[in-house]
């Protein structure tokens, strides 16, 4: 882009924004053609070609600027402003040009929304539909050049790419739909730019462009960490709670199995039994029982050796066992699996089956009473807490 600016500058010896815009856009287009020519005709990959063209053109630009600076007329008036940008030094015509660019971009994106969407996600599909993919691609590149050149005055040639990348990247982390990404990225861009500019006005001699970029980076970092769907910490947190829940459900299930083995008689389950059943050390079981106590899913006898279900805990245990046995039945009866192959699969799926799926399963299996191994499946009534059919005594109350 830089040689374009210099050429535009040479053309009529002033910092006429229009001449600079035309020069820069032409050179931008040329550089894109060069990149694609290099990648098509040589073994060099796209990244090498891009870096090469970028820096070579930049060097040509610096050479030209160096030459311009020796001109009697070329007092390099403002040309080095393009390197870092000076939002405060813009005048009315600069702003008018920016407004025109913004308007054009908005129009293009609105009119060509579907085409651009196809281009970005699946170009070959768009071509097969007969959409003008090549035209759209080049029009988009042209608009990017326009946008870059106009934005350069505000933030400079280096940080322009931040303006291009950071707002959409942030929006991408926050939502899934393309139109929302577009709107959100515009809002984020405007918001962070305004905030950054405001920050830079607080002190004296603070550069505007870098502050705008830093405000954007901050918002991006927040989205990266805490975005409800995509955030890194959110996902870690979700994974952790999920793991805890599965652990808890497994303990409840083991307790259910033990109670079942006792014939649902009126006694609790000792921790030692539980440790044997789960094949884990007693300390581990103690931690798990503490967790159950905290969640009010079980009560512990005073000497700390026996667990009893609370009504809520009983319901949960029934639900897990029911999920497990229903799924086993589904696999054997409908999917024709062997009865000895279904347990491991059910071990995994029991934690993620939702309410509706379970009902559906029940309906398809015609409300079964026993699982493939002949064990009774806890009914819906027990899971949903009708006290009448709860085996007496197992709850500890």
Partner 1 sequence: MSDLLPPFDAHRFFVAPWTTDIATYGWMTLMAFLVTAACGLVGNYLILRRMALVGDAISHSVLPGLAVAFLISGKLTLPAMLGGALGAGLLTTFLIEFLHTRSRIKADAAIGITFCSLFALGVVLINVFASKVHLDAECVLYGELSNLALAEYSLGMPAPVLVMGGVAVIVAVLIALFYKELLITSFDALLAGSQGFAPGKMHLALMAALSIVIVAAFESVGAILVIAMLILPGATAQLLSTRLPVCLALSVLHAALSAIGGLHLSLVLGCPMAAAVVVAGTLLFGCAWAVSLMQRRAGFEASMPTESAV
- Choose between 166 and 254: whose C-beta lies nearer to partner 1: 166
Q: How far is the CB of 60 from partner 1 (least distance, A)?
A: 6
Contact 88, 160 (CB under 8 A): no
Does residue 47 belong to the site contacting partner 1 (CB under 8 A)? Answer: yes
- The enclosing H or E element of 299 equals strand 298-300
CA distance 334 to 323: 16
* Tokens of residue 338, six digits: 């062997």
Does residue 330 belong to the site contacting partner 1 (CB under 8 A)? Answer: no
- Choose between 65 and 271: whose C-beta lies nearer to partner 1: 65
CA distance 212 to 159: 9
- Choose between 30 and 104: whose C-beta lies nearer to partner 1: 30
> What SS3 state is found at 370?
strand
Contact 243, 281 (CB under 8 A): no
Q: How far is the CB of 145 from partner 1 (least distance, A)?
A: 17
Q: Kindly write out the interface string for residues 221-260 of this chain, putting x where it contacts partner 1 by CB under 8 A and - elsewhere.
A: ---x-----x-x----------------------------
Please tell me the count of residues contacting partner 1 according to CB under 8 A. 58
Does residue 190 belong to the site contacting partner 1 (CB under 8 A)? Answer: no
Does residue 173 belong to the site contacting partner 1 (CB under 8 A)? Answer: yes
Does the CA dihedral 162-164-165-169 come out positive or negative?
Answer: positive
Q: What is the Cα gyration radius of the chain?
A: 33
Q: How far is the CB of 212 from partner 1 (least distance, A)?
A: 8
- From the list 12, 42, 75, 360, which residue makes contact with partner 1 (rule: CB under 8 A)? 42
Q: Kindly write out the interface string for residues 87-126 of this chain, putting x where it contacts partner 1 by CB under 8 A and - elsewhere.
A: ----------------------------------------
> How would you class 173 by CB atoms within 10 Å of its CB: exposed for 0-12, middle for 13-18, buried for 19 or more?
buried
- From the list 112, 126, 209, 268, which residue makes contact with partner 1 (rule: CB under 8 A)? 209
> How would you class 371 by CB atoms within 10 Å of its CB: exposed for 0-12, middle for 13-18, buried for 19 or more?
buried
Does residue 64 belong to the site contacting partner 1 (CB under 8 A)? Answer: yes
- Choose between 70 and 389: whose C-beta lies nearer to partner 1: 70
Provide the H-helix boundaries in 227-280: 232-261, 271-278
Q: How far is the CB of 166 from partner 1 (least distance, A)?
A: 6
Cα distances (angstroms) measured from residue 206 to each of 88, 153, 194, 214:
11, 16, 15, 13
- Choose between 53 and 298: whose C-beta lies nearer to partner 1: 53
Map 232-244 to HEC letters. HHHHHHHHHHHHH
- From the list 51, 134, 304, 385, which residue makes contact with partner 1 (rule: CB under 8 A)? 51
Q: How far is the CB of 102 from partner 1 (least distance, A)?
A: 21
Does residue 202 belong to the site contacting partner 1 (CB under 8 A)? Answer: no
- From the list 1, 188, 213, 252, which residue makes contact with partner 1 (rule: CB under 8 A)? 213
Does residue 313 belong to the site contacting partner 1 (CB under 8 A)? Answer: no
């Amino acid at each position: 882009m830089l040689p374009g600016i210099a050429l535009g500058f040479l053309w009529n010896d002033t910092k006429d924004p229009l001449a600079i815009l035309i020069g820069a856009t032409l050179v931008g287009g040329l550089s894109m053609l060069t990149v694609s020519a290099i990648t098509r005709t040589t073994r060099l990959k796209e990244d090498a070609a891009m870096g090469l063209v970028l820096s070579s053109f930049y060097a040509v630009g610096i050479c030209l600027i160096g030459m311009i600076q020796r001109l009697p007329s070329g007092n390099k008036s403002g040309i080095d402003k393009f390197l870092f940008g000076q939002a405060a030094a813009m005048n009315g015509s600069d702003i008018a040009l920016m407004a025109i660019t913004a308007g054009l971009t908005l129009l293009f994106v609105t009119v060509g929304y579907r085409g651009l969407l196809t281009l970005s996600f699946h170009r070959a599909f768009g071509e097969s539909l007969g959409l003008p993919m090549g035209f759209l691609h080049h029009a988009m590149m042209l608009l990017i050049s326009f946008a870059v050149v106009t934005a350069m005055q505000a933030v400079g040639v280096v940080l322009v790419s931040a303006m291009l990348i950071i707002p959409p990247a942030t929006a991408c982390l926050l939502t899934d739909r393309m139109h929302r990404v577009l709107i959100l990225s515009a809002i984020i861009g405007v918001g962070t730019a305004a905030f950054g500019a405001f920050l830079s006005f607080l002190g004296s001699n603070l550069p505007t462009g870098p502050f705008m970029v830093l405000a954007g980076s901050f918002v991006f970092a927040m989205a990266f960490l805490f975005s409800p769907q995509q955030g890194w910490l959110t996902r870690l947190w979700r994974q952790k709670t999920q793991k805890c829940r599965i652990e808890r459900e497994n303990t409840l299930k083991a307790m259910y199995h033990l109670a079942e083995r006792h014939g649902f008689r009126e006694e609790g389950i000792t921790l030692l039994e539980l440790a044997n059943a789960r094949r884990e050390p007693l300390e581990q079981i103690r931690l798990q029982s503490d967790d159950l106590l905290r969640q009010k899913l079980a009560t512990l006898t005073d000497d700390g050796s026996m667990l009893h279900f609370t009504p809520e805990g009983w319901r949960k245990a029934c639900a897990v066992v029911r999920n497990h046995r229903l799924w086993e039945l589904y696999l054997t009866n409908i999917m024709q699996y062997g009865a000895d192959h279904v347990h491991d699969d059910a071990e995994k799926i029991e934690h993620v089956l939702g309410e509706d799926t379970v009902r559906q399963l029940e309906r398809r299996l015609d409300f079964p009473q026993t699982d493939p191994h002949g064990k009774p499946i806890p009914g819906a009534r027990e899971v949903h807490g009708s006290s009448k059919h709860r085996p007496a005594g197992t709850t500890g109350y």
